[in-house]
Each structure stands twice: as structure tokens, then as C-alpha cells.
């Protein structure tokens, strides 16, 4: 796992400068770099595929978590390469967020004291990409609608319960319903919408049923 991880120059730099402590890992590793390093005989149809990046978190999710010693073999790495080249596995979010086609949008405005803040939310449920722009500031990117909502609530904090209940809650709920309508699969947003609106969780709902 570490061999693959260190094929990213950023990870090599972070590891060498962390003095053995925890360092942030960039999960994006170029397919071409992996093939060259391990001298793999992987069939490549288009040279552009070599510029794609695998998400090394898949190695942990698909292989290490199911092995007693957490072993990851070179064939395991190659399996993730092939799946990524064939678009059956997504590239890392750090790469994907800039390539996504944001074909849905939602615009809303919120009053903050004497100022009015405008938000533009754009997303692609299938590709798992969500972004938001506050006024003319740069976009912020998220991989799920739950993280997106957390960010929105952080941007418009209010201690006024009436404003929150009558203005903020309806906006967030409507945004989530709009996202839900644009999706072709069940995203589990109904529970999240109920939670935002203060609806009690059913007693027979297990933790595994939660959408996050």
C-alpha cells in the first residue's frame, strides 16, 4: 500500500517532512506511474488512460479490509487499474470534481443582517460531485449532499430560531428535494430532510439505515 501511495510526489514530500507523524495522503495515483513502477503488462487501449488516476482508498476497501494482515498484492493493484480504465471505478474526488459535468443547479438567497448572500449550488449525482459558490467567491466542492448542507449551515449561522425554522429549513429541504428529483437512484435523502425539519427518527430504524 505504501509503495503505491508514494508514487504520488505530494505523498513522498509529506511523508519525508512529517518526521514520522501523521501526514495527509493524496489518494490520486497516476495509472501510468503504477504500470511503470511495477512493470505491469496491463493492456492499454488508449494512451490517455495512462493519465487517469486510481483512488487508492479502493485498495483498502476492496482488499486490505478483508485480509487478516491487511495484505494488498500487486494483482490487487492491477485489478483497480483495469476497473478504473474501464470506468467501472471512479477516479478520486480530487480529480473528478474538476471533470464533472455539473448539469443541475439551484440558486437561493439568504439575508445576513443587512446584507443578502446569494448561493449557487451545482451537482451531478451520478458522478458524486457537488459544488457551491457564495456570491462571487470561488467554488467549494463536496462529494455528498450531506457535506454540502453542513457547509451551507456553517455559512449562514443564526441564533434566531424563527428565522432558522421559517427561512433556512425550507430552503435546505427544497434543495435536497431538488437534488433527489435529479437522481436516478435512491440517495436516502428522505430521512435527512426529516431530520433537518425536526421529525423524530422511527424507533425501528437501525444505524445501518442511515444515509451517512
Q: What is the mean pLDDT of each run of 10 residues along the chain (212 residues)?
A: 91 80 84 96 93 92 71 91 94 92 93 81 94 94 92 78 78 91 79 70 42 40
Q: What is the largest CA-CA distance in the chain?
A: 64
Residues 47 and 120 placed together within one structural domain of the fold: no
Residues 52 and 87 placed together within one structural domain of the fold: yes
Residues 74 and 173 placed together within one structural domain of the fold: no
Residues 138 and 64 placed together within one structural domain of the fold: no
Which of 69, 75, 74, 33 minimizes the C-alpha distance to 52?
Answer: 33
| Domain final residue pick, 71, 91, 111 | 91
Residues 76 and 117 placed together within one structural domain of the fold: no
Q: Where are the alpha helices (DSSP H) in the chain?
A: 2-5, 9-17, 31-38, 57-62, 74-85, 93-99, 145-155, 161-163, 169-182, 189-196
Predicted confidence at residue 110, as pLDDT, reads 83
Domain assignment of residue 81, given as a range: 2-91
| Domain final residue pick, 62, 91, 120 | 91
- Please give the tally of structural domains in the chain: 2
Residues 60 and 110 placed together within one structural domain of the fold: no
> Which segments of the chain are extended strands (E)?
28-30, 53-55, 104-112, 115-124, 129-134, 140-142
Residues 114 and 153 placed together within one structural domain of the fold: yes
Amino acid at each position: 500500500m505504501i509503495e503505491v501511495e508514494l508514487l504520488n510526489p505530494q505523498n513522498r514530500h509529506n511523508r519525508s517532512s512529517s518526521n514520522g507523524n501523521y501526514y495527509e495522503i493524496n489518494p490520486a495515483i497516476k495509472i501510468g506511474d503504477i504500470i511503470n513502477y511495477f512493470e505491469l503488462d496491463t493492456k492499454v487501449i488508449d494512451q490517455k488512460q495512462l493519465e487517469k488516476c486510481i483512488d487508492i482508498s479502493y485498495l483498502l476497501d476492496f482488499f486490505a479490509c478483508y485480509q487478516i494482515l491487511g495484505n494488498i498484492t500487486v494483482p490487487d493493484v492491477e485489478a483497480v487499474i483495469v476497473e478504473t480504465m474501464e470506468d467501472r471505478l471512479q477516479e478520486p474526488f480530487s480529480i473528478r470534481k474538476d471533470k464533472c459535468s455539473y448539469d443541475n443547479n439551484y440558486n437561493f438567497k439568504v439575508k445576513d443582517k443587512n446584507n443578502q448572500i446569494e448561493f449557487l449550488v451545482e451537482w451531478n449525482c451520478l458522478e458524486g460531485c457537488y459544488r457551491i459558490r457564495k456570491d462571487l467567491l470561488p467554488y467549494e466542492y463536496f462529494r455528498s449532499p450531506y457535506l454540502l448542507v453542513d457547509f451551507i449551515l456553517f455559512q449562514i449561522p443564526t441564533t434566531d430560531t424563527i428565522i432558522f425554522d421559517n427561512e433556512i429549513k425550507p430552503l435546505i429541504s427544497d434543495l435536497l428535494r431538488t437534488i433527489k428529483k435529479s437522481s436516478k437512484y435512491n440517495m436516502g435523502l428522505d430521512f435527512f430532510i426529516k431530520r433537518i425539519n425536526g421529525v423524530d427518527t422511527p424507533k425501528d430504524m437501525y444505524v445501518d439505515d442511515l444515509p451517512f
